Amino acid sequence: MVNDLVVDLSRLQFAATALYHFMFVPLTLGLTVLLATMETVYVVTGRTIYREMTQFWSKLLLINFALGVATGLTMEFQFGTNWSYYSSFVGDTFGTPLAIEGLMAFFMESTFIGLMVFGWERLSKAQHLFVTYLVALGSNLSALWILVANSFMQHPQGASFNPVTMRMELDSFFLLFFNSDAQSKFVHTSLAGFVTAAVFMCSISAFYMLRGRHLDFARRSFRIAALFGMLGTAGTLTLGDSLGYFAARVQPTKLVAMEALWKTEAPPIAFNVIAFPSQSEQRNLWAIQIPGMLSLLVTHSLDQEVAAADQLVEQAKGRIRNGVPAVQAMMALSADPTDANALAQFNAHRADVGYGLLVQRYAPDGDLTRITDADVDRAALDTLPEVWIIFWAFRAMVGFGVLMLGYFVLASMLTLSNKVHRLRWFQWASLLMLPAPYIACEAGWIVAEMGRQPWTVYEVLPTWLSASTHSVTYMAFSVAGFVLLYTIFAIIEVYLMVHFIRKGPDDGAPPGASPHASAVPAY
Amino acid sequence: MEIYLALKIIWWLLLGVLLMGISIMVGMDMGVGTLLRHVGRTDSERRVAINVIAPHWDGNQVWFVLGGGAIFAAWPLVYATAFSGLYVVMLLLLWSMIVRPLAFEYRSKRESPTWRNNWDWCLFLSGFLPMLVFGAAVGNMLQGVPFHFDWRLTSYYTGSFIALFNPFAILCGAMAVSMSVYMGGAILTNATDGPVQERARRAAMLAGILAMVLFTIGGLWLTRLEGYMLVSGPDPALAQTPLHQSVERAAGHWLTNYNNHPVLWAAPALGYIGALLGVLSLNARRPLFAWWFGALAWIGIIATVGAAMFPFMMPSSTNPSHSLTIWNAGSSERTLSWMLGFTLIFMPLILWYTSWAFWVMRGKVDKAHVDSSEHAL
């Protein structure tokens, strides 16, 4: 049977490498679009300051991009290396968007970024602008396809279990692609990337203002970013709301964790602004509530039911009992795919096969005839993810989101009335905003993915079963290797970023220098 | 049902195309990395060499990423079993590969010779190691890998990490490295001049000859290697798992296909002819021809392995009847059809714009330009 420590280490490794990868992705998503915007202004107006802006920000983009590419490479293979049962079980469905991501998005982004960097002299203005747009399009298309894949894990639709091949197989590509979770999450995530890039640009522009350097450059960059950021934040929050609304319907256990709802109440339901949830006691030790607010937020009404933990755990017990015969039928079909009785039994219970697999963790030697009521109760409690982390990560994400909205409203007003460069306190505030989008993005990942537990594919495939059957030694080795390598990478990246930010754009080039000196980069 | 059989075979051929894309395009860039310290004795020479592939390495690397994605989608059991079974080796491959994007982007961002020298070592390692592992992985596939499944199709790898570096695997790894050095040398010869060009040309010729020698030894070895043969199993056109077949393991089985279909000998012949004409082209100072002949050689080499193993993809040495074949490791008919549709639309597009990118950046890398470039600070 599977070793729990191996599963935990596999989860730790995946979470750490994904969160690390996601430190670089949002900036790329947004900054490529901002570059295209600045270059459009350059091509339309012909003012060289906008070309300098494009080139300077693209230099910072590339430092970031290299790490995005590097850490993305390991993600592409980590499903296979560390989640091999997951991979063979859902690869038929989940692998498809991943492959299309490569075909449609990665090739475009990576081929044209080479031309974007090295093609300034070899392409016409219009050609180069087009190339920049393709880079932005490519990176955002990759977000689309990876989120289509991810949404299958959150809300598996468009596929069903085939007992002959013992895996999930694609039924409808359209249902897979037009998963409402995918569509909302794509816009939510891309816009979160725009916000990240906007804060990044505002923050660094404010740094130049504080130093009294590159003022024209900084003011123009700040203005574009601030307006961009305001629209982005408003959109991110709107789509975030629809994701919450969606989760309430299709992932009730995630909602329970996000809002720390233990006891089902009659509507309208109170909202826990702050709470200290206790998983072991299945209640909040302490909470500040706003009456009726949760109903409004989650169901957009005052009279709809919202199931809390107690009710969901009871439902889970029923589904576990119903799922056990399905798994037993699966075992029979594995030995003989033509067994008609087993197939009939499987079909009668197929909706809950995932729950049967969930409880198999507690079955001695995997023998489901030997599970007890206590095992069923234990497995039912397992269906609740770890509440306190998700509850607080959700609040961090929303809190920083609202903070950034406020910031961008103010920033837009100040930049449109041309005051930013005179208000030192606001420049400092802008500089201090830099971590905000990063914290919000990482927290968002935690809510989405830890809120999916104990499943890798919601209600279909439990996490404990998904991991590769490695030894603890192997896992310790790989976790240690990733930590070491990624730490070194982070130090180098931050060092170079700071170095190039301090150096600043080449707008003060000495007279006589070739006007094209900055336009012809090489490695 | 016949459609499903055809789709399985098409996707097996497409897997070959992907491996060829990886070998030719990524292998070329890795060859440049491996050769970097040899062809470039001064910093400026090294920068010239790096800038030959600077605009293209990232796009080329997507062949590798797409390889991962496409195997995941089309051959989920291979993706799951191979990458988890070869865990430590995969980590070695990935860890050495991910240093490459950083080395390219960061190397010339500081003047310090120590800084640049360290990144040059990184470029060497991230070119040499992945190709060695890539070849060794193919070598292990040919020998079979110790794994089996339980009733649910969870895979268990029962071998040791060090066993993956057996002599035959290392031979295959060395051949992959020599082919990549050959291709890297050819592109360097084509896009540089002066001493860099001359060193690259000589290195490529040597690597091409070495590749032919290793290919010969590998081929002779293969005839004595224990191969696999599918004795019985479900109809290839049916959906199935690898739990219901019977497989025989014996020396010489990898030659069965060649004996039954002598036309397959064209594959190894293509490998030889490509490499031979390539070396001759380099000798005649026609590097672009040499590059294309090298690509043909790669196609021949990969086809040689594919023809020997058909219909096997990943044989199991400890439980041969659990071996992964084209018939039991593929995705469903619907998935393979959708994927084929996307491939037919996007693959020509990719080839078209990749060619355009190479055309835009055509010509020799200008040393004076590199020396005056802003990235030198």
Q: Tens digit of pLDDT for each residue in A340-349?
A: 999 999 999 9
Give percent of chain A with pLDDT exceeding 90: 70
Residue B107 amino acid letter: R
Give Cβ neighbours of residue A192 (< 8 Å, ≥ 6 apart). A26, A232, A236, A437, A440, A441, A444
Which of A62, A87, A118 comes nearest B361 by C-beta?
A118
Nearest to A236 by CA among A191, A273, A267: A191
Give Cβ neighbours of residue B280 (< 8 Å, ≥ 6 apart). none
Residues in chain A: 523
**A517, pLDDT greater than 70:** no
Is the CB of residue B341 less than 8 Å away from at least one CB of chain A? no
At B154, give phi and psi (nearest 5°).
Answer: -75, 135
Residue A224's alpha-carbon distances to A178, A198, B123, in angstroms, are 33, 8, 38
Largest CA distance in chain B: 67
Question: Which residue in the block uniquely carries the two structure tokens 């270059």?
Answer: A39
Q: Which of A81, A474, A488, A491 to mutate to test the interface with B (most CBs of B within 10 A)?
A: A81
What is the chain B residue with the closest CA to A99? B69
What is the chain A residue with the closest CA to B100? A70
Kindly report whether the peptide bond that precedes residue B146 is cis, defined as omega within 30 degrees of 0. Answer: no
Which of B47, B56, B66 comes nearest A522 by C-beta?
B47
Rounded Cα–Cα distance for residues A217 and A57 (Å): 11
Instruction: Please report the pLDDT score of residue A215 as a whole number.
Output: 87
Nearest to B304 by CA among B127, B138, B123: B138
Which of B83, B104, B239 comes nearest A523 by C-beta?
B104
- CATH superfamily ID and name for B2-371: Formate dehydrogenase/DMSO reductase domain (1.20.1630.10)
DSSP secondary structure, A201-234, as one string: HHHHHHHHHHHT-SHHHHHHHHHHHHHHHHHHHH
Residue B237's alpha-carbon distances to A377, B2, B158, B206, B333, in angstroms, are 44, 6, 31, 46, 10
Nearest to A317 by CA among A252, A257, A369, A382: A382
The answer to whether the Cβ–Cβ distance between B81 and A84 falls below 8 Å is yes
The answer to whether the Cβ–Cβ distance between B357 and A331 falls below 8 Å is no
The answer to whether the Cβ–Cβ distance between B339 and A96 falls below 8 Å is yes
Task: Measure B219 CA to nearest chain A CA, in Å.
Answer: 30
Instruction: Please report the pLDDT score of residue B20 as a whole number.
Output: 95
Contact B192, B52 (CB under 8 A): yes
**A514, pLDDT greater than 80:** no
Q: What is the DSSP letter of A421?
A: G
pLDDT grade for B95, boundaries at 50, 70 and 90: very high
Rounded Cα–Cα distance for residues A266 and B297 (Å): 73
> Among A14-18, A277-281, B163-167, which range has the highest average pLDDT?
A14-18
What is the chain B residue with the closest CA to A479? B91
What is the chain A residue with the closest CA to B110? A496
Rounded Cα–Cα distance for residues B70 and B58 (Å): 18
Nearest to A105 by CA among A129, A134, A131, A128: A134
**A518, pLDDT greater than 50:** no
Task: Measure B3 CA to nearest chain A CA, in Å.
Answer: 17
Rounded Cα–Cα distance for residues A227 and A224 (Å): 6
Instruction: Please report the pLDDT score of residue A295 as a whole number.
Output: 85
Instruction: Please report the pLDDT score of residue A412 as a whole number.
Output: 93
Rounded Cα–Cα distance for residues B31 and B204 (Å): 9
User: How many residue contacts between A and B have a Cβ separation below 8 Å?
Assistant: 282
Question: Cβ of A280: how many Cβ atoms within 10 Å?
Answer: 6
Is the CB of residue B331 less than 8 Å away from at least one CB of chain A? yes
Nearest to A205 by CA among A196, A214, A195: A214
Contacts of B79 in chain A (CB under 8 A): 79-80, 87-88, 91, 95
Rounded Cα–Cα distance for residues A342 and A353 (Å): 13
Tokens of B152: 């649910």
Element (H, E) at A153: helix A125-154
3-class secondary-structure state, position A458: coil
Q: Which of A89, A107, A492 to mutate to test the interface with B (most CBs of B within 10 A)?
A: A107
* Sequence spans of domains, chain B: 2-371
Contact B226, B251 (CB under 8 A): yes
Is the CB of residue B94 less than 8 Å away from at least one CB of chain A? yes
Is the CB of residue B237 less than 8 Å away from at least one CB of chain A? no
Tokens of B6: 């055809």
Contacts of A468 in chain B (CB under 8 A): 84, 87, 155
The answer to whether the Cβ–Cβ distance between A85 and B154 falls below 8 Å is yes
Task: Measure A131 CA to nearest chain B CA, in Å.
Answer: 10
Rounded Cα–Cα distance for residues A298 and B181 (Å): 60
Measure the CA dihedral B243/B244/B249/B254, to 10°.
-100
- Which has the higher per-residue pLDDT, B110 or B298? B298
Instruction: Please report the pLDDT score of residue A367 as a whole number.
Output: 86
3-class secondary-structure state, position A512: coil
Residues 175-194 of B with CB under 8 A from A: none
Contacts of A67 in chain B (CB under 8 A): 101-102
**B261, pLDDT greater than 70:** yes
Question: Cβ of A203: how many Cβ atoms within 10 Å?
Answer: 22
Q: What is the DSSP letter of A517?
A: G
Give Cβ neighbours of residue A296 (< 8 Å, ≥ 6 apart). A268, A302
**B375, pLDDT greater than 80:** no
pLDDT grade for A72, boundaries at 50, 70 and 90: very high
Instruction: Please report the pLDDT score of residue A521 as a whole number.
Output: 65
Question: Cβ of A317: how many Cβ atoms within 10 Å?
Answer: 18
* Sequence spans of domains, chain A: 25-66+80-254+388-468
Nearest to B370 by CA among B29, B52, B15: B52
What's the gap between Cα A311 and its chain centre?
29
What is the chain B residue with the closest CA to A94? B73
At B228, give phi and psi (nearest 5°).
Answer: -125, 150
What is the chain B residue with the closest CA to A127? B360
Q: What is the DSSP letter of A104?
A: I
Instruction: Please report the pLDDT score of residue A9 as a whole number.
Output: 95
Rounded Cα–Cα distance for residues B204 and B178 (Å): 8
Rounded Cα–Cα distance for residues A478 and A93 (Å): 28
At A283, give phi and psi (nearest 5°).
Answer: -160, 170
Bridge partners (DSSP) of residue A162 are A167
Contacts of B29 in chain A (CB under 8 A): none
Instruction: Please report the pLDDT score of residue A512 as a whole number.
Output: 39
Beta-sheet pairing, A283-290 with B155-157:
unpaired
The answer to whether the Cβ–Cβ distance between A469 and B155 falls below 8 Å is yes
What is the chain A residue with the closest CA to B50? A523
Instruction: Please report the pLDDT score of residue A98 as a whole number.
Output: 94
Residues in chain B: 377
Q: Tens digit of pLDDT for each residue in A385-411?
A: 999 999 999 999 999 999 999 999 999
Burial of B339 (C-beta count, 10 Å sphere; 0-12/13-18/19+) = buried
Lowest-confidence region among A146-160, A163-177, A297-311, B223-237: A297-311
**A1, pLDDT greater than 60:** no
Kindly report the three-state secondary structure assignment for every residue of chain B.
Answer: CHHHHHHHHHHHHHHHHHHHHHHHHHHHHHHHHHHHHHHCCCHHHHHHHHHHHCCCHHHHHHHHHHHHHHHHHHCHHHHHHHHHHCHHHHHHHHHHHHHHHHHHHHHHHCCCHHHHHHHHHHHHHHHHHHHHHHHHHHHHHHHCECEEECCCCCEEECCCCHHHCCHHHHHHHHHHHHHHHHHHHHHHHHHCCHHHHHHHHHHHHHHHHHHHHHHHHHHHHHHHCEEEEEEECCCCCCCCCCCCCEEEEEECHHHHHHHHCHHHHHHHHHHHHHHHHHHHHHHCCCHHHHHHHHHHHHHHHHHHHHHHHCCEEECECCCHHHCEECCCCCCCHHHHHHHHHHHHHHHHHHHHHHHHHHHHCCCCCCHHHHHHCHHHC
Rounded Cα–Cα distance for residues B115 and B105 (Å): 13
Beta-sheet pairing, A283-290 with A271-278:
antiparallel
Instruction: Please report the pLDDT score of residue A81 as a whole number.
Output: 95
Tokens of A215: 């003022």
Q: Which of A56, A96, A500 to mutate to test the interface with B (most CBs of B within 10 A)?
A: A96
Residue A484's alpha-carbon distances to A13, A17, A498, B33, in angstroms, are 12, 12, 22, 23
Contacts of A469 in chain B (CB under 8 A): 84, 154-157
**A505, pLDDT greater than 70:** yes
Nearest to A438 by CA among A200, A170, A160, A106: A200
Rounded Cα–Cα distance for residues A518 and A115 (Å): 16
Q: Share the mean pLDDT of chain B.
A: 92
Residue A25 amino acid letter: V
Which of A67, A79, A337 comes nearest B72 by C-beta?
A79
Bridge partners (DSSP) of residue B246 are B232
Rounded Cα–Cα distance for residues A75 and A64 (Å): 17
Which of B59, B104, B243 comes nearest A111 by C-beta?
B59
Contact A477, B88 (CB under 8 A): yes
Contacts of A108 in chain B (CB under 8 A): 353
What is the chain B residue with the closest CA to A330? B152
Residue A472's alpha-carbon distances to A5, A8, A11, B297, in angstroms, are 7, 10, 13, 42
pLDDT grade for A304, boundaries at 50, 70 and 90: confident
